[in-house]
Structure 1
Amino acid sequence: MKKTLLATFAVGVLALSTLTASAQKDPMVGGAAMYPDKTIVANAVNSPIHTTLVAAVKAAGLVDTLNGPGPFTVFAPTNDAFAKLPAGTVDTLVKPENKATLTKILTYHVVSGKISSKELAKDIKKGGGKYDLTTVEGGKLTATMSGGKIMLTDEKGGMSTVTVADVFQSNGVIHVVDTVLMPN
């Protein structure tokens, strides 16, 4: 009886440790693991759904900044988000002569600090259903909740949904979004 009880306890501990290990598993973004000990850029370059964003960050000269200590909260548009822009927009933005405009758009997706979705949801609730974030660019994003998801509204009235939240990095956190946000 004592051996059976110990064996059952051991199996339970093993199952619990397996469950805990899988709960701590690195999140996947676009089928690629994101590692909490790597920087925002180091992880983003491995995400197949963020190749446009990575190219834009390189063209804007923001690699060193986003590899820096931060911390940063990045609302990271996917390739599909960039594809929603009018035809030719991305090709035009990554040209050297448009670096200032590209930088303005990209830094509009970055907030100082490491803000989890749980903290953001709490701030939205505390703010009566909405919460304003000041971006590194200097503009405002308004966060709201809809159907349990965090929604962001840009200064032009465009809306984006956080599709993958809380991808923690060594220098901040990424929240994947489905639409490019535009500053004034």
Structure 2
Amino acid sequence: MPTIKPYIILITLLILFTSCDKEKRKKEIRREAQKEIVLRDSINAELKSAIIEQEFRDSSITSKLSEIKSLSILNESIEITGLKDTLQDTENLTVFAPTDKAFMKMPRKQNLTISNKKKSLAKRVRYHIVGDNWSSKDMTAEINSNDGELNMVTLSGKKLAATLEGDDIILQDNNGKKATIIESDIDASNGTIHIVDAVLFAH
């Protein structure tokens, strides 16, 4: 019976060990590659989420209002009262935005009160914000289907009525004071802005 020479056995064992090491290394490489893919996907997902969030904020109600020069007093009021984040992050809002001229038409006594009392100012601003997203088309349809009047609940907790006078949408506070929507349907990522010609009150 022929004998197997020792060096052949040694070579065979070396080949086997080398083959095992290669397979082991391949598995390690695959595992490392998989980890890198998972990490990359996680980073991409976080980056995508951050981009979407930033785009949402860049086109939020807060941002849209700040772009309109005729709303500087309202924008200052939003800043003072700490409502900036609410109008930036809260979804499905409608803002009825009084112009600077509307604020200037207010009696001087009321202007001073608003300027000096943060709580009073916050209540006033909140009365112009509704916790639903209303387009002018939807408001008109709802007014027509509800005996000529739409009642909306504002963030102040008080109701704000909307009616039609011809083609105009008229807002009315609980004191009977009226404001006309003079520019409608300014779209934002978290709601809609309508510009009005008067500042409304809630008591």
Asked if these proteins are the same fold (TM beyond 0.5), I'd say: yes
Q: 1:77 aligns with which of 63, 75, 98?
A: 98
Residue in 1 that maps onto 2:170: 151
In 2: Cα distance, 1:183 partner to 1:67 partner: 24
C-alpha distance after superposition, 1:92-129 (max 9, x if no partner): 4233xx11111111000010121101100011001111
On the 8 A contact 1:60/1:94 being kept in 2, the answer is no
- Structure in which a larger fraction of residues adopt strand: 1
In 2: Cα distance, 1:121 partner to 1:130 partner: 9
Mark the structure with the bigger radius of gyration: 2
Unmatched tracts of structure 2, length 5 or more: 1-56
Q: 2:73 aligns with which of 52, 63, 85?
A: 52
Q: Which has the higher contact order (CA 8 A, sep 6+)?
A: 1
1:90 positional shift:
3.1
Matched, 1:133 2:152: yes
On the 8 A contact 1:59/1:94 being kept in 2, the answer is no
- Structure in which a larger fraction of residues adopt helix: 2
In 2: Cα distance, 1:93 partner to 1:37 partner: 29
AA matched with 1:41: T
On the 8 A contact 1:37/1:169 being kept in 2, the answer is no
In 2: Cα distance, 1:94 partner to 1:62 partner: 16
Number of positions where the alignment pairs a residue of Structure 1 with one of Structure 2: 147
Residue in 1 that maps onto 2:87: 66
* Secondary structure of the corresponding residue to residue 115 of structure 1: coil
Unmatched tracts of structure 1, length 5 or more: 1-35
AA matched with 2:79: K
Residue in 1 that maps onto 2:124: 105
Give the superposed CA RMSD. Answer: 1.5
1:91 positional shift:
4.3
* Secondary structure of the corresponding residue to residue 69 of structure 2: coil
On the 8 A contact 1:162/1:175 being kept in 2, the answer is yes
1:45 positional shift:
1.2
Q: 1:117 aligns with which of 115, 130, 136?
A: 136
Residue in 2 that maps onto 1:167: 186
* Secondary structure of the corresponding residue to residue 176 of structure 2: coil
On the 8 A contact 1:142/1:154 being kept in 2, the answer is yes
In 1: Cα distance, 2:166 partner to 2:178 partner: 14
Output aligned runs, 1:9-48, within 5 Å.
38-48=59-69
In 2: Cα distance, 1:131 partner to 1:89 partner: 28
In 2: Cα distance, 1:178 partner to 1:152 partner: 10
TM superposition score normalised by structure 1: 0.76
Identical columns (%): 35
TM superposition score normalised by structure 2: 0.69
* Secondary structure of the corresponding residue to residue 106 of structure 2: coil
1:177 positional shift:
0.3
After TM superposition, where is structure 1 displaced by more than 6 Å over at least 4 residues in a row? none
